[in-house]
Structure 1
Amino acid sequence: MPFYVYAQDQPDVADQLMELSEEHWSYMDRFEDRLILRGPTVSDDGEKHTGSVHVADLADRAAAERFAREEPFWKAGLYRDLTVVAADVLVSREPEADVHYTLVTAQWPLSADAPCDAEQRGLSGAEADSRLIFVAALRDDEGTGTTGVVAAVRALPDEARGLVRPFAEGLADGRPAAFTAQRWERGGRN
């Protein structure tokens, strides 16, 4: 089952991230065949690492939590926040190197009377727009409804947010959605 794992950096940890980068990559290499998407979030100018994104196909929530908490940057205390959420992957294309991408997330409250099926909402139409290289519906722990969407988009933040908004609003089913958009880069060894 795919899980979206996002870790936000502590302030001023760039040097420590560099020191542990080989250890981080070696750890991720162990999951290479299960990583659907990976890479850092970065500042608007692309100069500063701000977090790490991984979408990994793992056995269950416990395995996803282990994956996140045994990661070297987390163990060294370099992250301040960690998100681990089950995901239904709707679009997954290989990102290109050296291209500007934005990671867009939208989150909303779970409603027991509004479980959503992404395919029934027409989200498979996202495949037609090649700028959307990754789209996943985020699921509640019981798998009965959506709590958000995450997308990697080949566009700058304002345009990327606009491209994701129709899919997010369709899944949110009238629930208020909070959007974030931040630069993202393809990760891993090249």
Structure 2
Amino acid sequence: MFFVIDCQDKPGHLAVRLENRDAHLNYLKDFEQQLIMAGPFMDSDNQMIGSMLIMAFNDHAEADSFCAADPYALAGLFERVQIRPWRKVLPA
């Protein structure tokens, strides 16, 4: 099952994001087989302000565990994390 993980950074936390970026990217390497796509949300000044990932997990609990162990989450970067089941329709 696919899940969209939508993370919004706390305001003023770009330094936290940058300090933990390498650890976050290394963490994602452990989930390469489950990772469909990922990348940051950007503001009008082209600064990273959040993250969006589409990943495959067996269930919502597995997605929750993945998010809880993300170095960004452990560093307190996120103001909000929303995990939603998603079904790919197009392109077929």
Where on the TM-score scale, by shorter chain, does this alignment land: which range? Answer: over 0.9
> 1:69 Cα deviation (Å)?
1.3
- 1:12 deviates by 1.0
Query: Any idea what SS the aligned residue of 1:81 has?
Result: strand
Pairwise CA RMSD of aligned residues?
A: 1.0
Q: Extract unaligned runs of 5+ from structure 2.
A: none
- Runs of 4+ more than 4 Å apart: none
Q: Which residue of 2 aligns with 1:43?
A: 43
Q: How many aligned positions are there?
A: 91
* TM-score, structure 2 normalization: 0.92
Shift of 1:44: 2.2
**What is the rounded CA distance, in whole Å, between the counterparts of 1:50 and 1:12 in structure 2?**
9
More helix per residue: 1 or 2?
2
Pairs within 5 Å for 1:112-127: 127=91
Shift of 1:7: 0.7
- Whether 1:10 aligns to 2:10 is yes
Cα deviation, residue 45, structure 1: 3.3
User: What is the 5 A alignment of 1:58-137?
Assistant: 58-91=57-90, 127=91
Larger Rg: 1 or 2? 1
SS in 2 for 1:90: coil
Q: Which structure would you say has the larger RCO, counting Cα contacts within 8 Å and 6 or more residues apart?
A: 2
> Percent of pairs identical after alignment?
27
Within the alignment, does 1:29 sit opposite 2:29 as a pair? Answer: yes
CA distance in 2 between counterparts of 1:28 and 1:90 reads: 25
